[in-house]
Amino acid sequence: MATATAPGKIILVGEHAVVYGRPAIAAPVWQRVATATIEPAAPGDGCSLHARDVELDIHLRTARDDEPLAVVTRLALAQLGIEQEPDWRIKLHSEIPIASGLGSGAALSTALVRAIFRQLGREAEPAQVSSLVYESERFYHGAPSGIDNTVVAYGQPIWFVKGREIEPFTPSVPLTIAIADSGVRSPTKATVGDVRRAWQREPARYESIFDAIGELVCAARRAMEVGDLPALGQLFDANQTLLESLDVSSETLHRLVAAARRAGALGAKLSGGGRGGNVIALVEEDAVDAVSGALYTSGAQQVIVTRIGAEAR
């Protein structure tokens, strides 16, 4: 039996614009993971996949060509030179909320790829995993930047520009982030598609917004490099304003952002596709309880506190 895990993820700054070639900074969230376990099946049964969290029970030989987890399974087996379908029962479980901006699809696929490699006596390199998982991300996101599969496969904070070599990146001082789940599911594919259609209608306007987000991400990196957390918080707020101009926020997210700021967060913004999913707030340690409480009072379904650059998994 082989088992593998993979973390969730948050985008600190730069979502949506990253699809159009601007930089973004993302980090793993090890407090919520996806797990894949492979058990032997009876001879001749072939390979089946079971993921209770997404109501998936399929057999590999009859799965649709556009089913993401079947796609990544077939690709991983092909890369390992396995031509005959193995007799496996693959169980998948995720603690990561679905369609919430925390990279649930990438995490499930990453755990699956790693478990397949381990079951065959191999360890997959992060670049291998990321490349395979990207193919499944296309079914979740439509036109993904590649940031989700990259940060989840590498399991560390990254500076990401589409089409360029990834750059691991760690802030000079630890960041404490409160992640508030709005409870509103919002598939990233839908918001990415809406932004793309708006960009096609008004390319000049949207390119200027993407440029502004790209400049903000560069400023955020500088703030992290020198440990200027108040400046970083202001950049979170500015990024939220720009995301609102892309029409990917919502009243629910506005309420959570405002609650975090009132309770003492240095800055707050949506993270991921938007219109639902998560809000992230940059907080100082002595404000964690107050900000978390305010987020719950304002309707957050759960609040995860993660520290970036401060602790291992």
What is the pLDDT at residue 166? 87
Beta bridge partners of 278: 181, 271
Kindly indicate the confidence band of residue 66, based on its pLDDT and cuts at 50, 70 and 90: confident
CATH of domain 171-308: 3.30.70.890
Predicted confidence (pLDDT) per residue in 74-86, tens digit: 999 999 999 999 9
Checking if the pLDDT of 300 tops 90, the result is yes
**Hey, what are 305's tokens?**
């506190």
- pLDDT for residue 145: 77
DSSP 86: P
Dump pLDDT digits (tens) for 301-313: 999 999 998 554 4
The answer to whether residue 279 scores a pLDDT higher than 50 is yes
Q: What pLDDT does residue 198 have?
A: 97
pLDDT of 20 above 70: yes
Phi and psi, residue 40, nearest 5°: -70, 140
In the predicted structure, residue 141 carries a pLDDT above the cut 60: no
Kindly indicate the confidence band of residue 124, based on its pLDDT and cuts at 50, 70 and 90.
Answer: very high
Q: What is the pLDDT of residue 128?
A: 95
Enumerate the domain spans of the chain: 2-167, 171-308
The per-residue pLDDT for 313 is 44
CATH pick for 2-167 out of 3.30.457.10, 3.30.460.10, 2.170.150.70, 3.30.230.10: 3.30.230.10
Active site residues: 148
Mean pLDDT of 271-300: 96
Range 132-168 burial, b when 16+ CB lie within 10 A, else e? bbbebbebbbbebbbbbbbbbbbbbbbbbbbeeebee
What end-to-end distance do the CA atoms of the chain give, in Å?
23
